[in-house]
Structures are given as structure tokens and as C-alpha cells.
A and B are shown apart, each in its own frame.
Chain A
Amino acid sequence: MDEILQLLSEDARLTCKQIAERIGRPEAEVQEIVAKLEKEKIIRRYKTVIDWERAGVEHVFGFIEVRCAPQRGVGFDAVAERIIEFPEVHSLYLMSGAYDFLVVVQGKTMREIAYFVAEKLAPLDHVVGTATHFVLRPYKVDGDIMVDRDEVKRLPVTP
């Protein structure tokens, strides 16, 4: 199962037939395992890694530190559940350290993100402070290096 997950995490377009050949199991067995992983939401969905900058699509990412006062009985969950509903929110993490939440926000412009923070995030009940950082250039995203490297050359035939 781990090997199937790893293969799909690297290339979501692999067919069960290709996976079966690579791991040396029958195709039907792989189909069954993948179906089960999907049903159990271990595989949540299949995505594509896109270099938006190269595609010419303007995207701005903001990393926003949020400090808030936890609520009796529900801790941070109640605030988190409100934040995740905003479509601008790309990722949300509860953090250890100097602040409580790290909110990754995706917008078309910095202004859009600034507006979101000022109008939506900061005024939420129990949020006591925010600090916004904008991404200037992504170098590596979710394990994928986003900058071009020279091709590594090898001799064409070696013993």
C-alpha cells in the first residue's frame, strides 16, 4: 500500500496497470487497493502541480500569522473551522511558538489579500492579532523545485 501511495503522490496520472507492473502485483489487486484508499479518504483527490508564474497567471501568496484566544471547551477548533471556510484560504495550520495559526492565502493581488486580512480575518471573534508576509518568489513548493536546472549529462555508453 505504501508503495502505491508513494507512486501516486509522485504521479497521480499513473494507471493501475502501470502501478501493477512497477510493483509486481496483479492489476486487479492494485485496482482494489486504490478503490479502498479512495473510499477511506486516504487518497483525498488527484492534483496537478502547476507553475502558475510560467503559465503567465498572476498569483500572490500571503503567509499570515494569526494570534487568537482559545475558547473554553473547543480550544482553537471553533476559530479554525470559521477560517477554513473562506475560499481564499489555501492552507491552515495550528502552530507552536509565537503565534497560533499560520494561514496561507492565495489571491490575485497583494491588495486583495490585504483586504481579506483586514475585512475578514482580523475582525473574527477571538482573533487578537495578525502579521502578513507576502511570497516574493517560490523556489520549492510541496517537494517540487520550481527553478530550472542544467541537465545532468552522462557518457552515452559506459561499462
Chain B
Amino acid sequence: MAQTRPRVSRLVDALPPSGIRRFFELVEKMPEAISLGIGEPDFVTPWRVREAGIYSLERGHTHYTPNRGIRPLLEELARYLERRFGVSYDPETELMITVGGSEAIDIALRAVLQPGDGVLIPQPCFVSYLPCAVLAGGHAIAVRTSVEHDFQVQVEDLAQACDESSRVLLISYPSNPTGATMPRGNMEALIRFAAERDLLLISDEVYAELTYDGAHVSAAAVPGGRERTVLVGGFSKAWAMTGWRLGFAAGPADIIEAMVKVHSYALMCSPTTAQEAAIEALRACDDDVAQMRREYNQRRRVIVSRLNAMGLTCFEPKGAFYAFPSIANTGFTSEEFAQRLLEEEKVAVVPGTAFGECGEGFVRCSYATSMALIEEAMARMASFVARVAG
């Protein structure tokens, strides 16, 4: 008999399963639990956007679109990026529509990495950055961030981690899971560092619209940023469109062209219905977005004040919809804390370690859930903390 060869790629086989996965299975068996573990809006897509999607289907627009995306959406996106973040892009050569921000991250890495190139990834971070870097043939270089610096990556730490192989710096502000944002001065320092080391930036700004304290600073909007940044965004968070799977990338024409090539082989194009609906999102939904932002902001204040009041020190998250409190004074690891809180109080939070080793000692609490449930979850969590820390 012939020798059995492994059926699964060694690269894939070696990838650790997502830290969220295990926890998902626990929570799934407990439907009565209150989940603060959800990384998507609780709001439904604004009706005018859904209606535009329905209309698109009614007219029979059910075919492929150009690889890059439909022209009216690309044009609307260019206007939007200019209007909201002060960055201007040519819709014909410097923008593309992707299947969620996640695809944009994946194909940006695949489009630029040479085998063995290093990708600097500040942690804690979104779960797919490291696997995407590895699957694109690169290697991930994790860079710690800490609560002492409000989870903003420090140039000194980057300098220490950066080596000859390093080619890409993958950042995301506002951050999932910490809620950290990057003020202009620090972003400028980051861009200067990237220029010195000739690094390409991939800046995942999918939470840009959910910034609560001052305006969002895009990596592409600071001096020297635009020419070395692939700006990634999406419709999932601000327009509550997770299930539509629609995102975008903006960047230098040569890189976008390469990304479109990968995209055209892997996916052909992004969903047509979603693209047509997204035009309405960009054109007419500023008020809907503002209303959701206002509600998230109210919940943010409540959750942060309750966490601090129960003795879980929580730095002030200034963006996204996550609070990232320290659970160090309970004496538990993040995993133990999350598991016991779930078992004893039926409240689900995500262990900080799911987002990188330096997430140890923290848990992620999503406030993308109703105020009533947040208040109930906080009450249960407070009694848990009082019991275990007392």
C-alpha cells in the first residue's frame, strides 16, 4: 500500500485554532447566558440600506460585477474617505471593494509579502492577523502593547522587534479587542518609523466611525502615510452590515492592482447586492451611523464605570465597542476568569489571551448589546468579583 501522505497542508495544520472557538462552544451550550462576547453590532442594518439591497434584487442585478467593484460605489467611497477622513483616492486605480475588511487584510498580505517576510503585529489584536500573515508565506512578529501606554504600540518596542526580514506593519486603531485609538502625534511617529525602516503599513480602520473622543486619525491622513499605507475599512461595524460581507481597501495604485489580481482569482468580485446597498450606506446614512455611535457611547460610559466600580480596572476605550478590563486582582488567568464567570453567573466575556499572549490578565467585554443586558451582566459580574476577590 502506498504511504499515506498528510491530507492537510502543514502550514494550516500548524495554525493554532482560534482562541474564540473553544469559548464559542461553551457558550453555545448555554443559550440563557448573557453574551458580552459578540464582535458585531446588535443593531440591524439601517432600513434604507436593506431596502436598496431589495431593490437591487428586484431589478435582477444578480450577476458578477467588475473585479474591483462597481463604479458608482467606488466613486461614492472616494467621496466618503475625503469627506470623513481627509484622504483622497482615485476610484479607478486606488480603491477596491472586498468581501469584508477581513479579505482586504488577507489579500493585502498575499499581494505584498515575499516568502519569509516579517509582519510586525502589535498585540492584543484581531484574531486573523497572525494566521493571514503565515498563510501569505510570511512570518508574524508579535509586538506587545500595554495598558500603561493605553495599548498604543510604541515606536521603541517596534524598533526592538523589527529585523531585516520585516516588511509590513499591521496596525488597527480603534482596536479590537482593547478599544484603543491612536492620537495624531503618535500616528505621525509611527509613520516616520515605517518610513525609516521602509515598512509598508496595513491599517485596519474598520472601527473608524466608532470613535468617541475626538476625530479618527487615519494612517493615510498623516504626512508620509498615504504612499506606504493600505487603508482597510468595511461596512460591517459602522453600518451594522456584518452579514453582507463588504469591505474595501485604499492604497497606492500598484498595490491595489496586485490585490485586485488576487481577489479576481480567489473571489471574482464582492457580492453585487451588497455593493449596490452600500452606495446608499455611504450616501444617506450619516444620521443612522451617528445615532448608533451615540448609543454605543452611552453604553461605553456605563460599562467602563461599572467595571471600575466593581474593582476591575478598565482603561478608557476611545473607540470600537469593547472594554478591556484587567482581571489581575482576582488572581485568575483570563481563561479561568471567563470560564468561571460563565459557569457561575452565566455571563460570557472573551479571555484576553484569545487576542495574543499579552492579553493575559484581561478580558474583552463587548458593549454591542442592549443597555438592559449590559446592566444585568454588570450586576452579575460585580457579584462574581465580590465573591472571588473578597
Instruction: List the interface of chain A (C-beta within 8 A of B).
Output: 3, 6-7, 21-24, 152, 154-159
Contact = CB atoms under 8 A, between A and B. Distances in A.
Contact of A157 (B23, B294, B305): B23
A21 B298 CA distance: 8
B35 to A, nearest CB: 5
Contacts of A21: 301-302, 305
A-B CB proximity, top 9 nearest: A157-B37, A22-B298, A157-B24, A156-B27, A158-B39, A159-B127, A156-B35, A24-B301, A157-B27
B44 A159 contact: no
A159 B18 contact: yes
B33 A159 contact: no
Contacts of B18: 159
A159 B39 contact: yes
Interface string B25-40: 0011001010101111
B301 A156 contact: no
Contacts of A159: 18, 20, 39, 126-128, 176, 354
A155 B298 contact: no
12 contacts: A6-B294, A22-B299, A22-B302, A154-B38, A156-B35, A156-B348, A157-B20, A157-B28, A157-B37, A159-B126, A159-B128, A159-B176
A150 to B, nearest CB: 11
A154 B302 CA distance: 23
Nearest to B212: A24
A158 B38 contact: yes
Contacts of A154: 38, 40, 42
Contacts of B348: 156-157
Nearest to B18: A159
A20 B319 CA distance: 20
A7 B302 CA distance: 14
Interface string B291-335: 000100011011001000000000000000000000000000000
- Grouping DSSP codes into helix (H, G, I), strand (E, B) and loop, the B interface class, with mixed when no group exceeds half, is mixed
B108 interface: no
A157 B38 contact: yes
A159 B37 CA distance: 8
A155 B18 CA distance: 15
A155 B27 CA distance: 10
Interface in B163-193: 176
A26 to B, nearest CB: 12
A157 B299 CA distance: 19
A156 B24 contact: yes
B199 interface: no
Given A157-B27, A158-B39, A3 B294 contact: yes
Nearest to A14: B371
A156 B305 contact: no
Contacts of A155: 24, 38
Given A156-B348, A157-B23, A157-B348, A23 B298 contact: yes
B278 interface: no
Contacts of B20: 157-159
Given A158-B40, A159-B128, 8 more contacts: A23-B298, A154-B38, A154-B40, A154-B42, A157-B28, A157-B38, A158-B24, A159-B126
B350 A157 contact: yes
B353 to A, nearest CB: 13
B237 to A, nearest CB: 12
B27 A152 contact: no
Nearest to B19: A159
A21 B297 CA distance: 11
A156 B37 contact: yes
A30 to B, nearest CB: 13
Contacts of B301: 21-24
A158 B39 CA distance: 5
A21 B307 CA distance: 13
Contacts of A157: 20, 23-24, 27-28, 35, 37-38, 348, 350
